[in-house]
């Protein structure tokens, strides 16, 4: 297993945990929690692959199904640790978003789409899972209301192409793009930076 796969799985694990924790808070049963965790982890990539007209990535090998099961077991067994490890999960989650963005850009590129589509697919991969999770548990998607999240994905995807056009090597391009997402995400939370809200239009 190479390094990028390891990080991909770690990101999947962190995304699954975030879904399972929220489902538990809403008293979902264990199977419902599993489903929410799985959709959070693979939902973005699934929508991306359906729009790219290729087979959803998680149907190619069972890793993602298994990782979500481990995440469920983990939450059930180590509930207190899950609380204490909040910050650790936040970091994992940020790493996951970063890597998912890079994976999304590259899968779209491999399918032959233009740059601006690839950037959108990077952002879809990194952020749609969290939106589906929030719709499932019947909340206004958090992503639209707090922090820098989807924008970090867009920024990372743009940086990917800047590196690409500068002729940097593949691995450097991947790392710089993912780090852009991860640092944007972490710094925006740390310094409580958020995008301005549109002022409501009185109707």
Query: Among residues 98 and 174, whose Cβ is nearest to a copy of itself?
Result: 98
Query: Among residues 114 and 167, whose Cβ is nearest to a copy of itself?
Result: 114
Q: Residue 86 CB, nearest distance to a copy of itself (Å)?
A: 8
Binding residues (CB under 8 A) for a copy of itself: these are 20-21, 23-33, 35-36, 46, 50-51, 53-56, 59, 62, 65, 75-76, 79, 82-83, 86, 113-114, 116-117, 120, 131, 135-141, 143-145, 150-151, 154, 194-203
Query: Among residues 151 and 174, whose Cβ is nearest to a copy of itself?
Result: 151
Q: Residue 115 CB, nearest distance to a copy of itself (Å)?
A: 10
Burial (CB < 10 A; 0-12, 13-18, 19+), residue 178, is buried
Q: Residue 71 CB, nearest distance to a copy of itself (Å)?
A: 12
Q: Residue 39 CB, nearest distance to a copy of itself (Å)?
A: 10
Smallest Cα–Cα separation from 43: which of 33, 56, 54? 56
Angle of helix 30-52 relative to helix 63-77, nearest 10 degrees?
150
Between CA 44 and CA 40 the distance in angstroms is 8
Q: Residue 142 CB, nearest distance to a copy of itself (Å)?
A: 10
Between CA 2 and CA 7 the distance in angstroms is 9
Neighbouring residues of 131: CB distance < 8 A, sequence distance ≥ 6: 43, 141, 143
Structure tokens at 126: 């990194």
SS3 14: helix
């Amino acid at each position: 297993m190479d390094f990028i796969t390891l990080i991909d799985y770690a990101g999947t694990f962190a995304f699954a945990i975030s879904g399972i924790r929220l489902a538990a808070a809403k008293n979902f049963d264990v199977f419902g929690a599993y489903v929410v965790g799985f959709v959070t982890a693979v939902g973005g990539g699934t929508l991306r692959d359906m729009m790219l007209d290729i087979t959803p990535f998680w149907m190619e090998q069972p890793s993602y199904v298994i990782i979500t099961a481990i995440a469920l077991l983990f939450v059930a067994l180590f509930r207190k640790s899950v609380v204490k490890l909040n910050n650790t999960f936040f970091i994992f989650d940020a790493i996951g978003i970063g890597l998912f963005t890079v994976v999304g850009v590259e899968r779209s590129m491999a399918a032959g789409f233009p740059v601006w589509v690839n950037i959108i697919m990077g952002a879809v991969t990194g952020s749609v899972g969290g939106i589906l999770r929030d719709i499932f548990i019947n909340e206004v998607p958090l992503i639209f209301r707090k922090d820098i999240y989807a924008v970090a994905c867009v920024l990372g995807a743009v940086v990917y192409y800047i590196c690409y056009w500068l002729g940097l090597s593949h691995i450097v391009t991947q790392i710089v793009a993912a780090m852009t997402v991860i640092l944007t995400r972490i710094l925006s939370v740390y310094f409580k930076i958020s995008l301005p809200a549109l002022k409501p239009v009185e109707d």
